[in-house]
Homo-oligomer: A and B are copies of this chain.
Amino acid sequence: MGSALAEIGIGLIGGGYMGKAHAVAMASVGAVFDTALRPRLQVIAASNPSSAERYRKAYGFAKAADDWRSLVADTNVDAIVIASPQTTHLAIAEAAFAAGKHVFCEKPLGASLEDAEAMVAAAEAAGLTNMIGFNYVRTPATQFVRQLLADGAIGDVTWFRGEHTEDFLADPAIPANWRTTGRSNGTMGDLSPHMINCALALLGPIESLSAQIETVHPTRPGPDGPATVDNDDQAQMLVRFANGVSGHLYFSRIATGRKMGYAYEIHGTKGAIRFDQEDQNAVWLYRTEGPDATRGFTKILTGPAHPDYLPFCQGPGHGTGYQDQIIIEARDFLHAVATGTPVWPTFRDGLAVSRVVETAFASAASGGWLSVPQS
């Protein structure tokens, strides 16, 4: 390469769905954003040699590894992206920080609250860049909503309703599988963190909550007859944010018809906002301005006037997509490494999400309101 740009060696652990998304992001983020640090796709690790080599070829990495430890130990690797199962997050992160590597970790932070706390401790002890992957808050639309709220565009917020609903297990005839066992694979454990993080990003800390968590289909077909489902299909909670605003959160993996129902609505004294990830290039904004006759929700198409849109397309209405969110994340991670400044959301921000999840389980068990521990 004729470039004098500083490179950064990337190690990617996990080559599945999220792994691929990060590989593509690292391959293109330099061109999209003209970043100071340019990723060099150094090592990809997977659970066995053949899949590791397959990923290496497909995604263009220099080396393949069938053991994440060798990836962590590789001296050409400067930063690590963890896109492997939740249960592996803690061990990898601890080893990575011990080896002096910066770490980007897919959500949720760990498979349990204890794991998450240990990961924060390791990250903060090391003083290295640590970031958790909540990609949906990085759409131009939701970034714009954060600006609107910060600017007081809808006055004082009085209500927040958020949901993350999909329907991949809506049909009770779908057999039991890895998703239907283990608390961390249930709706609260696996699906809720994205929207909880969004709620925290937009409204601030949740002070207390009252939750209901349920397994609507307690058995599913198994290889030897009905198999027990031991985690939750849907969950909801009344919440009170620290700023006094009340709200509602709802999560479901059996919400028939919903494909990416990451959606929220916010009421304020001077306006309101609605967003739905299924139409991620639009923000609906209502403001109490002008005569009644011309008031209504305005459908704003994202465009160059909104955050992080212009690098992807020149005109409004052209639209960004899922992969672009991951590229924006990569840009932010690289910037944090290059400048040594923290990047939101850090592991500690991810821990705050885990604490809401944990409190929800406790509340559902007790049937009443509980305070959410803050840190």
Interface residues of A (CB under 8 A from B): 1-3, 5, 17, 20-21, 23-24, 27-28, 30-32, 34, 38, 56-60, 62-63, 144, 153-154, 158-159, 161, 166, 168, 170-172, 210, 212, 214, 216, 233-234, 236, 238, 246, 248, 250, 252, 254-261, 267-272, 277-282, 285-288, 291-301, 303-306, 312-324, 367-369
Contacts and interface: CB of A to CB of B under 8 A. Distances in A.
Contacts of A63: 2
A287 to B, nearest CB: 8
Given A3-B57, A60-B38, A278 B248 contact: no
Contact of A296 (B171, B271, B280, B299): B299
A63 B273 CA distance: 47
Task: With a 10 A CB-CB cut-off, give which of A304, A312, A322, A369 has the most chain B CB atoms.
Answer: A322
Contacts of A316: 259-260, 292
B298 A294 contact: yes
A305 to B, nearest CB: 4
A243 to B, nearest CB: 12
Contact of A317 (B1, B57, B269, B277): B277
Given A256-B271, A279-B279, A234 B321 contact: no
B154 A256 contact: yes
A267 B294 contact: no
B294 A285 contact: yes
A214 B250 CA distance: 20
Given A234-B159, A257-B272, A267-B254, A246 B293 contact: no
Nearest to A313: B322
B300 A293 contact: yes
Nearest to A290: B289
A158 B254 contact: yes
Nearest to A20: B31
B296 A1 contact: no
A305 B293 CA distance: 5
Contact of A256 (B1, B250, B270): B270
A260 B318 contact: yes
Given A281-B319, A293-B306, A323-B323, 12 more contacts: A5-B57, A23-B31, A154-B256, A171-B269, A210-B210, A257-B267, A259-B301, A292-B303, A292-B304, A318-B321, A323-B324, A367-B368
A214 B4 CA distance: 51
Contacts of A144: 293
Nearest to A270: B256
Nearest to A307: B293
Nearest to A59: B31
A241 to B, nearest CB: 13
A371 B267 CA distance: 30
17 contacts: A2-B62, A24-B28, A24-B31, A27-B31, A30-B58, A32-B323, A158-B233, A158-B234, A256-B267, A285-B294, A291-B305, A294-B300, A295-B300, A297-B298, A312-B321, A312-B322, A321-B323
Contacts of A367: 210, 368-369
Across the A-B interface, the 6 shortest Cβ-Cβ residue pairs: A259-B317, A321-B321, A260-B317, A257-B286, A293-B305, A257-B272
Given A24-B32, A238-B212, A267 B296 contact: no
B296 A296 contact: no
